[in-house]
Amino acid sequence: MDDLDVSARWQARHPTHGSVSNRHLCADIVPGQRALTSPNGTFATDHDYSAAEAYERHFRESLERLHGEQRYRVFADIERISGRFPAAKWRRSDGTVTEITVWCSNDYLGMGQHPEVVSALTGTAHRCGAGAGGTRNIAGNNSPLVDLEGELADLHGKEASLVFTSGYVSNQASISTIGKLIPDCVVLSDAFNHNSIIEGIRQSRCEKRIFRHNDLGHLEALLREAGDRPKLVVFESVYSMDGDVAPIGAICDLADRYGAMTYLDEVHAVGLYGAHGGGISERDGVMHRVTVIEGTLAKGFGCVGGYISASRSICDAVRSFAPGFIFTTALPPPIAAAARASVRYLKHSSAEREAHQRQAAATKQALQAAGLPVLPTETHIVPVIVGDAELCKAAADRLLERHAIYIQPINYPTVPRGTERLRITPSPYHGDTHIAELAAALAETWGTLSLA
């Protein structure tokens, strides 16, 4: 949020001269530019100045700042090839096309191209059409969506589930609504929580207390300080950038001791861990102890959408009060059917999970043997640290252009400055040849760019 903060610091950096309608005018505008911007974000105009020019300049300067900080994001034009995951086509700006290998997809198990999932999607599209027809308040529930929510409730052993259009929205809408409905609630949030969680807490207007990442002692101290107030502990099972895992059972112990609810984000774990794909909480045998489990349909399950699973009353309260649910078009029937097919399949098949873990371990071993700075993790996420935004992008560009390997660079604000990285996500379909090619390409890139 610092990029958008306009405060006294703005005035210190931008000397003002005079005012129009009590709004300060910039004195340091470049000659030839006519924008008048004010420290409260409004734009002043008179017969010599164009508001449209002021707005355009504001956006250009914001983008220039990103470029200057090496944080401007460039997205490759990539077309996945059905049935050939992780192969894809990369279309360059000149229109030429190269086949590449994708090493950073969050479709962790390749379920987005699984025949049963694709068949469920296409069959339902032929039967029901493409769209949902509006919000559920307007168009009602569609049957595939109702069936999906029942499947997810069963997956997590909860009374009910509620599906949203994305995992981001499910966190934002659910956390903000739960917090608003509980008087004087204090939310205790892990320091490494995702932006969707942070936004949900902010919109709840609850008091927020941040505990150091996975630090049980700090969490207990904050719970003790909160006394008898209602408390909600919000944390993730797998943290997506470092690949580490929360001590879910121990956090539940503290929540029980101090009378707190728990809200667990299993986005990077559902489908991938547990006997039926219920996530780390299922794997660890503590799923029943968590008050609310949040997940996504876009990663391990290979589709799109987010959800919560909880008691019937919690899900109904979020359904009834959350603007992010009430005013958003429902997930389309074909997507809901595809997601349900993926969830049902992974409940009964462990082959993909076992192959996933095997290839992730093989990838880590190969990269470590090549002398690359791999961050040790106990999960499927393989971070390779670069530590510089410009070099991180340069490494990603070289991998794509020279080696036909696509890995998107991860820079601030997704990770702290100085910890920029390539985040590698092996899948069951990355074979031993793929892994050997990746290790060789990274070693060549590290040597060429003097990253070692």
Q: Catalytic amino acids? A: 299
CA 76 vs. chain centroid, Å, equals: 19
Q: Where are the beta strands (DSSP E) in 183-254?
A: 186-190, 207-211, 231-236
Q: Are 230 and 184 in contact (CB under 8 A)?
A: yes
Looking at residue 138, its amino acid is: I
Those residues whose C-beta lies under 8 Å from the C-beta of residue 272, and which sit 6 or more positions away, are 108, 109, 279, 300, 353, 356, 380
> What 3-state DSSP class applies to 42?
coil
* C-alpha closest to that of 167 among 83, 89, 240, 88: 240
Coil, strand or helix: which one is 134?
Answer: coil
Going by C-alpha positions, the residue among 76, 64, 125 that lies closest to residue 103 is 76
CB 201 within 8 A of CB 249: no
CB 318 within 8 A of CB 309: no
Q: Return the structure tokens found at 383.
A: 């971070």
Length of the chain: 452
- Tell me: cis bond preceding 428? Omega within 30 of 0 counts: no
Phi then psi dihedrals of residue 59, to 5 deg: -70, -40
Q: Residue 95 and residue 77: Cα distance in Å, rounded?
A: 10
Rounded to 10 degrees, the C-alpha dihedral 398/403/404/410 comes to: -40
Q: Where are the beta strands (DSSP E) in 103-211?
A: 160-164, 186-190, 207-211
